[in-house]
Structure 1
Amino acid sequence: MTNRRTRPAPRPPAGTPAPAELANRARASLADEVRLTRWTAAHPGDASDDGRPGTLPAATAERAATDLRLTPGQIRAAWDRARLAGLVEMHGTSARPGWRLRAWDSDDSAVLRGWVALFDAWSLIHPAPADLAPEVVAEVVEAMPQLLSLLQLSAGPVTVPALLDLLGQRVAELRDERCEVPYENPEDAADTAGAPDPAALARLLRWALGALAAVDALTLGPKRATLTPLGSWAVWVKLEQICVAAQSPAGGNIEQPAANMLLGCARLTPGAARAEYRAWLAARPVGSAIAELLQAARGEDALLRGLAFEALRVVGAPAEPDVRAAAADPTLRPYALLWLAEHDGADPEDVQEVLTREESTWLWVDTAAAVADHGENELLVRHLDSAVRTTVPHLLDEVRAVGHPRTVQVLVALAAAHPDPALAKAVRRAAFQVHTGGA
């Protein structure tokens, strides 16, 4: 077997267009989305949602359809694609053109990143058949990278029966890998871990290929599918990311679950960590990757929370609905609000203003917990010194009131680390008061 750390990066497909040509293809693919986004910019207020965040009101869709000579259905589809590609950003209940639209005509890399964000979110473009179990849909989504790799390596049409055969094999492998509990009745095991239902897989393959065709990643012919130049390039980029990262010192993170991957990246420089995140994301479906990162963020390790949202920044637009939903979780709310503010184009110097005083304090304690668990005493002292408060006693009052579950441990660690005996004594007193419930 080839050593995974020394395997060569894949070569670009033969005849791959130049980046400028690929960017122009992406511009053509998203032409209606750009037209709609510019239309909403010229009609401020018309893109506010009607109680369903992220959707266009029916009356607005009708007006846009008339002006742009599209159907209301085409407008709604273009709106969803524009949001996934980062052309549209939601600010509360108002939609605004994103930074990517401003760079659309002049920055080829911004265009390609927007199209890749849409490609990554292909499974969100059209709903899967509603009568099929979500678990089966998730298995097919997880298996699709193997089918895309086959299409890329084939450099030409692949028949649908061949794709269906590979899909069935991959889904069966996934079920075998997950079947960890022995069954008393062998028939139960066969139902759960055996070969999947061919009819259901055939329907889901048609759905998946249709969704990928909708983002212009492939073309469909009579019983065959072929990657477009954009689709072939995108698959190659993801394979390259995986192979290059696999040869890095932290390359083993690609095959790890999210929590292990994040911890493996904890001491990397920001640029190296982002490269690892991109490779890890490229190796799995975007939807399941987002869910796994948020699950890691919900755990007890505060360091994982911060790192998970750093990885979600690499995901970009496809993560926005899940991050917005995560803002309802008190543990994740400060991180989610900062992520959303940055995603919406807030000035980095002003982004903290989206948090209330209590949320800022909660985030400060959570970050201190991460430093206490994984950092050094000097970092913990600097974290205290960096707190934006008038006095340390005032900070301690706010920390006691915010109710973070790690408050006592954080204060004890701060008291042990700080070189100023008087300040350390005040911090220890605050820790004792929180522990005993005193004032």
Structure 2
Amino acid sequence: MSAERPVLPPVRLNSEAELARDALAAPLFVRAVRLARWAGPETRVGAGGELVEAQLPAAAEHLGLPADEDGAAYASEAWRLAVDTGLLDVTDPDGEGEDDGAEGTVTAGENLALLTTGSPQEILAIWLDGLDAVHADATAPLLDDFADLVGEDGSIDFDALDWDPEEETEFLDGVLGNLYLLTLADNGAGDAPVPLPALAASMIVPDDMGEPTDDILEQVSEAMMRLDDQFRLLEPIGIVEYQPVDEALMAEAGDPADTAADADEEDVTRYGMVRLTPLGLYGIRARMLEAGVSAPAVGDLADKGADALLDGVAHYPEAAARAEIQLWLAGRGAGGAVPAAAELLAAARGTDEGAPLRRLHCQQALALAGEEAEPAVRAVLADPELGGLARVWLAEHGATDVPAPSEAMVFWLAIDTIAAQLDADGELDELQGLVEGLSAQHTGFFDEIWRVDHPATAEVLEAMGRLHSDKKAAKDARKAAFKARSRAGG
């Protein structure tokens, strides 16, 4: 492996302006903003910053919600988000914290004005604070009977909760990480809704397990129902589109989890379906970056040097690599094709393990640079490492005055090309076709190629011996690999 492969594939994010608009349109965020603008000097808040119960019906009415228990709950949730994101500033009574029966005051926070005057980055930073708050709510313990947890002295028995905050957070982050990976699958084409049972199973069922045991299925069912609650909380902040578990299943099976494992393709949607939104991709990636996870995005390399570009896209999927290179070239501006091409070619030199793959991506980048790159390409025709790819580029662009390569350069380019494809982990059929095509172009190919002074000669010949479908050619390749290793002293 020539370059450190990214743990996650690169994500193609919407522009910050588009993401900021999505953030401002998230239902929970909308309600929080409306309450922040509604609040005034007469608004009464508790010592902990919560809206007092007597004010909840008015808050719900302002949001267009019914003045009942559900409306009050939604209003309370939106109020907490407004406080958590700095849209509102709450002052405790007398500045001393909690006080029985005392009420605090509320004023507009600095962040409220930023929603209309701030940059997209500032709006997204506020939204991310909201995501953190909602994520914390989603991993909080479920209190069926809070009174049972309160002791005679008024203290709360946290041990009775059977709740590990770190474990809960790690589990939900793992689920969101799996959803992120599934969304980026197949070059970003894997953004179809994911069945909730499958997502729960991805966290519970061991990879090497064949038929899940009853105990594992029970754990999957419990996780699925917990995720149903969590995704219901996460959807209003805008990171997922969620179709909840069909409540009619409760009546049919007592507990929908009991039959989730047996759901067929026709009714699997009844067990919950979830999809990460473009804003969700941004939000989950931001959380991963904050946690120290390498989560690249297309455009990260646009302002870097050519060496960082070629190393960075080394193991990107083809479409993502192409998009990254296009952004990099566009950043060089009009008239920058020649210096950009020269920088790419300079970065492609080398005899290290990753050099062949750098040269392969350099060749792809030069193809995107267009005919304006020709002077820089012609300047390396005599270079032993770059002369071969320069000739290929010129021939592809219709040049007729290209000097013929020496036999040594032809063989060196063949080794370099196969070495790059081996490192790129390309399709086996394509690699086999390349191996057989190159060896068939020259009589006595394996009698000569073992002499090529390339660091990957022996490795490439060994691979050719494994891949070539012709038994005699495969044997010749293995013999040539032995000669190459002997020649190199290894």
Larger radius of gyration: 2
* TM-score grouping bracket, smaller chain normalisation: 0.3 to 0.5
Q: Provide the TM-score with structure 1 as the length reference.
A: 0.37
